[in-house]
Amino acid sequence: GTIDDIQKLQVQSVPLNQQPRRIAHLASSRAFGVLAIQTPDAPGLSAAAGAAGTGGGGGSLGLGLEEEESHVVLFLDDQTMDQVGQYELDPLEEALSAMACTLGDDGTQYLVVGTGYKAGGGGGGAADGAGGDGGGKNDDFEPTNGRLLVFSLADIDSVAMADDDAEGGGGAGAGGGGDGEAGAGAGDRKVVLVAEKETQGAVYDLEVLGGKLVAGINSKVSL
């Protein structure tokens, strides 16, 4: 019966040395996407931790965590649990939601991450909003900006070919201007930031409707 089926489950603990907040499975890429909080004294998953991006302070929206914490998106192989890559968010930016999905008709599976900025942070402008000076410790603060980040895991060989083509055009081919960088990891895959979009608030929830992304941004739903 069901008890016997449950007893067949094998549970494995994987030490992240970080605080995981959200997890999503990219089945076609054989990987997990994990949103985690990284503290300065945490050893991290790899020696490359912290090399990607600028990683600065990042308290929690309403969780009262220390400002020294930074948020990171980890990619782990779903068989070995080895780190494939990571993306470190901007200072004062927090990872709030994650979803593995396909968008449009291309059939590619992406990891979509929604973020929000604490007061004083923000990629396109300061989130000065209601909350004033109060030392940045206002639990009623509603973020005024955030980001939607779309990631994919690509074959390293195909990424190298694309980079060669981009060099021929005289550009680095990347875009965005974000502080975090999609980091390469072990194995034959590389994390690629496919797209990013600034939002007028924090992205707390994500869903797909008719091949399009639906986001819960502050108290609104946006398509």
The tokens describing 178, both together, are 């974000």
Lowest mean pLDDT among 4-13, 49-58, 98-107, 130-139: 49-58
Residue 97 sits at φ, ψ, to 5 deg, of -150, 155
pLDDT score recorded for residue 17? 84
Asked if residue 115 lies in contact with residue 89, where contact means CB atoms within 8 angstroms, the answer is yes
Chain segment 149-199, per-residue pLDDT in tens = 999 988 776 555 555 555 555 544 333 344 555 654 455 788 999 999 999
Q: Quick one: pLDDT at residue 169? A: 54
**pLDDT tens-digit series, residues 118-148:** 876 665 443 343 333 433 444 556 788 999 9
Helix (H) or strand (E) holding 199: strand 189-199
Rg of the chain (C-alpha set) = 18
Residue type, 205: D
Q: Which of these, 115, 109, 103, lies nearest to 78 by C-alpha position?
A: 109
Scan for tokens 């060099």, then name that residue: 167
Range from 21-25, 45-49, 159-163, 196-200 carrying the lowest mean pLDDT: 45-49
Lowest-confidence range among 82-86, 96-100, 108-112, 139-143?
139-143
Name the nearest CA neighbour of 133 among 124, 141, 123: 141
DSSP 96-138: EEEEEEE-TTS--EEEEEEEEE-TT--SSS----TT-SSTT--
Hey, what are 32's tokens? 């997990």
